[in-house]
Amino acid sequence: MSRKIVIDSCDDFHRLEGQRIVNSEPVTITAEGIQDFCRGTGNEEWIHWDEERCKASPFGALVAPGLYLPALFPSLFWQAMEINLAHMIVKGIDGIRILKPVTVGSRIRCRATIDKVLDRDSGIEVHYGIRFSFADTGEAAAVATFINRYWD
């Protein structure tokens, strides 16, 4: 794994605007990971649980819920980033688009850029452009924008 990007001030984000900050190694999607996520969210849809029924479906395997990939982002983000600011809040996620079903055994790669940095009365607002792709084809599985606020 490459060296972490270290953020010591809000100005550091401005210097990174437009740059890729996360380029993860592939993550293999497992039944256990999908089902742990579903347990935590109370999702009992058969497509996440019934392996035999899924084998006979057009997908051929258990399918990850739509919010599963965005939920993986924080762990991948913190593998790449070290932020040494006093305050941070997650403002939200904007425009999640699920482009292709992700099934057990898929290998997913995450790439993120700092799309824009907006100055606020106190601190900054950072918009992260996130793309989850299939590692073997490069085809996009999902895209989203995450928005965080930071201040010293």
pTM of the model: 0.91
| Tokens matching residue 34 | 């999908």
The owner of tokens 């305050």 is 87
pLDDT tens digit string along 3-24?
A: 899 999 999 999 999 999 999 9
Structural domains for the chain: 5-28+64-151 (3.10.129.10)
Closest C-alpha among 135, 132, 139 to residue 96: 132
Q: Give the CB-side neighbour count of residue 81, counting CA atoms within 13 A.
A: 23
State how far the Cα of 79 lies from the Cα of 61, in Å rounded to an integer.
29
| Tokens matching residue 136 | 């073997």
pLDDT tens digit string along 70-92?
A: 999 999 999 999 999 989 999 99
pLDDT category of residue 2 using cuts at 50, 70 and 90: low
Q: Which pLDDT belongs to residue 95?
A: 87
